[in-house]
Structure 1
Amino acid sequence: MDQRKLKIGAAVVAGLVILFIAGRQFLKWQSTQKDQARVEQANKQAEKEAKQTVASLHQLCRYADSVGIDTSRYVVEPDADKAEAGAKLTALLMEVRYGKKPSRMTYNGLPEAVDSSWAKKVGTTVSLKMMTEFATFAPYNQLATYYNRLRKRAKGNPAVSDSLRQIRQTLNFYRYVNRFNPDQFVIVNIPAGELNVFDRTGKRLLPMQVIAGKPDKRTPCMTTYIKDIVAYPYWNVPRKIALEEMLPRMQRDLSYIYNQNLQILDEKNREVDPEEIDWEGLSTTNFPYRVRQASGCENSLGLIKFDLENPLAIYLHDTNSRDLFTLTADRWRSHGCVRVQKPVELANLVLGKQTFDAGFMNRCMIDQKPQTLSIPKRFPVFIAYNTADVDAAGKLKFYKDVYALNE
């Protein structure tokens, strides 16, 4: 009887052990099935998101193509994973909104206001409506319309292809301006010989002609800002001009100094009497002076100077030869600075109030010292080289490549 009980007990224990092992195996199998189901679900979700990202990227590429962006760098295979497609989608979103830095920019003096997290926040939900919300600048949209019209007849036509290339450069420039988020700003377009003050919608607040640097004294492209405005400025003659152009004339005839209202200053910024200088002993390598032109109507900078932040001594200014705006179509004859046609109007706009009246340019008061006027805030200035653009009437214009930069 005892043996029978022992056998029964052993059988029960064995059964329980088997049941325990079987239960554990079942639970393990069940857990594995759930894990596999989760993995399969995650894979399906990742595949779905990858396809959605690839689809969004393809949609964005079509839009980017329509505004002159080279999308060949953003192409992915249909089965690309989410990480690859997502990285290119983010990069393309940033280029659509902010463009690329133009290759011709010599100096960048404006701090960028780029929202670097914006593209990631967008995710894969990309729509045409969202893209057009950032394309509110009227000249940009007008130029994009012309670009798409020309694309339809570009095949086999080199002239049209070159025109498209020029338009693409300008479209990218306008996208690049978005990096600075300006409310009002100046654009000087060198090939057009024009200056425009725009608001953020693209409205032209103050169009005018300008005279920029001649081909051998090019005005550099830059992003900068007006720091202040100087009424009755001195012209501190750049040393190269003083040595190469003025010194030989001064050595030949001292009357040149008086006729041009020039002042010779020593190293301590004290004015020196030209009659007391040993001109024969001076040369381009031995000239311990600097040259300044006195303020007044005959000053080469005219009566108003707009100081720009840059290390290249480039600024906007009035001119003592205002008739050049009406007597000639040659808009490229300066040493690099930009002469403006409407200095009073520009100054009042930048200052935000009527500081100079209409008669300021004609009074030309004598014995005036330079007066620096502070502006309410930095006023952005973009000096660009756009050979294709739209004019005030919204018509497509191609300008002469005065510096031969498109060759």
Structure 2
Amino acid sequence: MIKYIKTGLLAASLLAQAFFTQAQLTPATIREYLLQPVLPGHIALPYLRQVKIFYDCYQYRPAWINDDSARTQLLAYLSQSAALGLNDSLYQYTTLQSFRHSTTQLFTVTDSIMAELQLTDACIHFLDELLYGNATPETGYNGLDYTPGCISVATLLAAALQEGNFGSLLQLYENTSPGYIATKSRLGQLLRIQQDSSFHSQRPVSSPAVTCANKPLLYKLWQYGYLTSPIDSLPDDSLKQKLKEVQQLFSLQADGILRPNLMKELNVPVEVRIQQLAKALNTFRWMNCLRQQNKWVVVVNIPSANLLVYECDTVVLESRIVVGKKSTPTPLFITSISEVVMYPYWTVPHSIATRELIPMFALNPRMVAANNFSILNDHGNIVPPTSINWKALKGKNFPYTIRQSTGCDNALGIIKLNFYTPYGVYLHDTPWKILFNTYNRYYSHGCMRVEKIIPLAHMVLEGNAIAMDTILQKGNLLHQQPVTIPATSKIPLLVLYNTSWVDSAAHVRFYPDVYQKQRY
């Protein structure tokens, strides 16, 4: 086994010798070891299958034990884990620490093989998380059965070592999307602040004063990189401008007024912000294969209430959206957009019908017609609302369907994008466009109202968009029926939840944890 030298004369004597001793490794010894049904020495290799693929590609030659340069480069890569939003304590940490501190002793062939394989396992684990993320984003439904893995990490590593470009591996294969790069930069800024000698626990911002006398405010502005020092002295006008910039960081109204909502965001510990940024980085990695394999990918992020359409690494469309409020949250899922419905009916969900509409209709049945609703029985026939005893109806005793007719006043607007999920939600237009001008757009019953629904529908229909434009030009005719147009090709749709995210210009922002999903 690997033995770690800690104290005493024996330690001093051994450390005075070479970095570590080793029994000679050959391809034959490594191959024989890996072909055993159970590896000797109780060695734990979480990525054993990929380790075996690697050595098969590498002709079972030792990659690290006999190569100081490759081993040094591997240790250098792993030392960057925190700046990459990764956790190096998961990568065979004890073995790696023994190499970092020159305390490794390999007395037998088995010792050398175990160390060799643990280094390979650590490298593959690190590269796998660098390429594909260290966690799968929460989704209640994965209709694409998507799992990232467009490149075999084991074969990639073997090729890099064989071709002599292992030292350029991160440069060649790390995510290059602008949003990823900006998020990584913001993470690096906070990590540097955290390691600065001036960084310490600071009392929270509690005063609304935007002056240099408000020391906790100055400290927080320095912490986020808006001041060069926590003791900077600025004129009040300049400080107010800095405050506007930090308000934009938290997606708040940029007016230079220090309100309680901004104080709350400023007082979030920097450790939490680091975890939020790391989560966003790993989300970018996780969805990277999907972006590279499809012409377009639509990504909705709930806390930021925005929609981005990616063409590979480039955002080609951004739209503000309205998402579900806390009591009726928008579900998280992966699916694909299958069709565009022009002038859709809105079939009112049972929960909305019983909680909101029945009490209104019980007070005044004329509200059915006034809001363009129809009442349908079990056979799909329209029932006169005046013939219904609304006051006798309860949640479980409601044998009707409420449907809103087509038109500009329809809750779904004039366009709906269909996709399958078990949740009965859509991307759709809305007659209430004023809500797009608000900052925290959490108002819906779970569906997603899209400000730029027409450009998005054009992308879904691509070669058949003229059919939609023709229908739109005719306008909403009397007794207009819904028109369904199949998507030219199904576009992947991801509905995700990140409290740190970017816009189309790759500006990193922090957002409220509106559904209280984050646990830091």
Q: Cα distance, 1:170 vs. partner? A: 0.6
Matched, 1:131 2:170: yes
Matched, 1:162 2:272: yes
Q: Cα distance, 1:196 vs. partner? A: 1.4
- Residue 188 of structure 1 corresponds to which residue in structure 2? 300
Q: Contact 2:308–2:318 (CA<8 Å) still a contact in 1?
A: yes
Matched residue pairs, number? 367
1:241 match: secondary structure: helix
Distance 1:398 1:76 in 2: 35
Distance 2:126 2:176 in 1: 19
Distance 2:274 2:478 in 1: 52
| TM-superposition CA deviations, 1:177-205 (whole Å, max 9, x none) | 0242333111112222211111112x221
| TM-superposition CA deviations, 1:214-233 (whole Å, max 9, x none) | 12111122222211111111
- Residue 28 of structure 1 corresponds to which residue in structure 2? none
* Structure 1 spans left out of the alignment, 5+ residues: 1-38
Q: Contact 2:148–2:289 (CA<8 Å) still a contact in 1?
A: yes
- Residue 391 of structure 1 corresponds to which residue in structure 2? 503
- Residue 146 of structure 1 corresponds to which residue in structure 2? 186
1:292 match: secondary structure: strand
- Residue 130 of structure 2 corresponds to which residue in structure 1? 96
| TM-superposition CA deviations, 1:107-135 (whole Å, max 9, x none) | 22223264477012124537353334341
Distance 2:504 2:167 in 1: 27
Determine which structure has more spread, i.e. the larger CA radius of gyration.
1
Q: Contact 2:318–2:503 (CA<8 Å) still a contact in 1?
A: no
Letter in 2 for 1:205: V
Q: Cα distance, 1:403 vs. partner? A: 2.7
Compute the RMSD of aligned alpha carbons.
2.8
Distance 1:268 1:42 in 2: 77
Letter in 2 for 1:386: N
Q: Contact 1:186–1:382 (CA<8 Å) still a contact in 2?
A: yes
Distance 2:190 2:473 in 1: 45
2:333 match: secondary structure: strand
The one of 447, 461, 484 equivalent to 1:337 is: 447
Letter in 1 for 2:166: S
| TM-superposition CA deviations, 1:291-334 (whole Å, max 9, x none) | 211111111000000112211112110001123224x4341100
Q: Contact 2:179–2:507 (CA<8 Å) still a contact in 1?
A: no
1:91 match: secondary structure: helix
Letter in 2 for 1:143: T
- Residue 487 of structure 2 corresponds to which residue in structure 1? 375
Letter in 2 for 1:339: R
Q: Contact 1:100–1:172 (CA<8 Å) still a contact in 2?
A: yes
Q: Once the two structures are aligned, what percentage of the paired residues are identical?
A: 28
Q: Cα distance, 1:63 vs. partner? A: 4.3
Letter in 2 for 1:96: L
- Residue 321 of structure 1 corresponds to which residue in structure 2? 432
Question: Residues 239, 87 of structure 1: CA spacing in aligned structure 2 closer, same or farther, 3 A cutoff?
Answer: same
Matched, 1:365 2:382: no
Distance 2:428 2:200 in 1: 42
| TM-superposition CA deviations, 1:337-372 (whole Å, max 9, x none) | 110001111111221144344993893333211111
Distance 2:141 2:398 in 1: 30
- Residue 87 of structure 1 corresponds to which residue in structure 2? 121
Q: Cα distance, 1:397 vs. partner? A: 1.9
TM-score (norm 2): 0.64
Distance 2:167 2:371 in 1: 60
Alignment of 1:213-228 (within 5 A): 213-228=324-339
Question: Residues 373, 116 of structure 1: CA spacing in aligned structure 2 closer, same or farther, 3 A cutoff?
Answer: closer
Distance 1:338 1:214 in 2: 11
| TM-superposition CA deviations, 1:26-66 (whole Å, max 9, x none) | xxxxxxxxxxxxx9562898595342575564344234433
1:275 match: secondary structure: helix
Q: Cα distance, 1:139 vs. partner? A: 1.0
Question: Residues 121, 394 of structure 1: CA spacing in aligned structure 2 closer, same or farther, 3 A cutoff?
Answer: same
TM-score (norm 1): 0.81
Distance 2:454 2:336 in 1: 18
**Larger relative contact order (Cα-Cα within 8 Å, sequence gap ≥ 6):** 1
Distance 2:340 2:395 in 1: 32
